[in-house]
Amino acid sequence: MRASLVFAMLLLTILNSAFSQTAKVVTYNIRYNNEGDGINAWPNRKFQVTDLLRFHEADIIGLQEALYGQVTDISLQMPGFDQVGVGRDDGKAAGEYSPIFYDSRKYQLKDHGWFWLSETPTYPSLGWDAACKRICTYALLENYDKRKSVWVFNTHFDHVGEVAQFNSVRIILQKIDRLNEKNYPVILMGDLNLTPNQKPIKIIETEFFDSKKVSEQAPYGPEGTFNGFDFNSELKRRIDYIFVKGKLDVKKYGVLTDSYEQRYPSDHLPVLIEVEL
């Protein structure tokens, strides 16, 4: 009887491993390369950013505020990773990117693209009352081993325009509905410049789960994700999110407070989740 029970448990473990796949997903506003940041300028912290991503073994990464040179720097320090994205100012290399990096040793890129958060989303444009052009990047990734597919959307909402924030949610949700004909799981992440109690976040939660709220393990780290390069920040303001939809089980959620010499690698903290397809 005992041998039969052991065999059954072993078989269950093998089956679970065969039909599930976990991935570590990170959203991270890395702060654009601004010489005025002094000691916190990009050249003084770029290796801390990539060291953090490698140490935590991120598989899929959504960045915000990444200029072309920063995208290049990160690509050079992340062997085995590919990325998709364009600069928001001209749809080529000018302005901030919201790129998606992914481990190309694990995932195959099946589809990708980008659109602007504006009335004319197919080309570089300023939307409504926004202070800046804003973009959303997307990718359909398929795991090589398990043949599991997931849509990933990464964005950065405007920090001023309230109308733009509302309409950005509408455009993104509509785009997801149009693209996701096969009803694959979806990850939506980014710096939304909104706190959890604000209405645009509540609208997203009508279709997506906030990964923090559905994590199987208790959430790790502080509530807030914005530190303003202040090591003594109370870390109360949460504006960076990872939402999930479909057959995705969130195993872990954490806001990472990694630092060096009492400095953070960015003025935001990265959010990391571990999900099972």
State pLDDT tens for residues 139-191. 999 999 878 999 999 999 999 999 999 999 999 999 999 999 999 999 999 99
Whole-number pLDDT of residue 126: 98
Amino acid at residue number 24: K
43-65 per-position pLDDT tens digit: 999 999 999 999 999 999 999 99
Per-residue model confidence as pLDDT tens digits over 199-231:
999 999 999 999 999 999 999 999 999 999 999
pLDDT of residue 146: 76
- Per residue in 243-260, pLDDT (tens digit) is 999 999 999 999 999 999
In three-state secondary structure terms, 139 is strand
pTM of the entire predicted model: 0.93
Report how far residue 63's alpha carbon sits from residue 66's, in angstroms, rounded to the nearest whole number: 7
Residue tagged 């909104």 (tokens)? 194
Cβ atoms < 10 Å from Cβ of 261: 7
Residue with tokens 């989303």, as numbered in its chain = 121
- Please state, in angstroms and rounded to a whole number, the distance separating the CA atoms of residues 26 and 44: 22
C-alpha separations of 28 from 60, 94, 271 in Å: 11, 20, 7
H runs (alpha helix) in the chain: 2-19, 46-55, 68-77, 162-179, 199-204, 211-214
Give 84-116 pLDDT, tens digit per residue.
Answer: 999 999 999 999 999 999 999 999 999 999 999
The two structure tokens encoding residue 256: 């990472």
| 174 sits in which H/E element | helix 162-179
Alpha helices in 188-228 (DSSP H): 199-204, 211-214
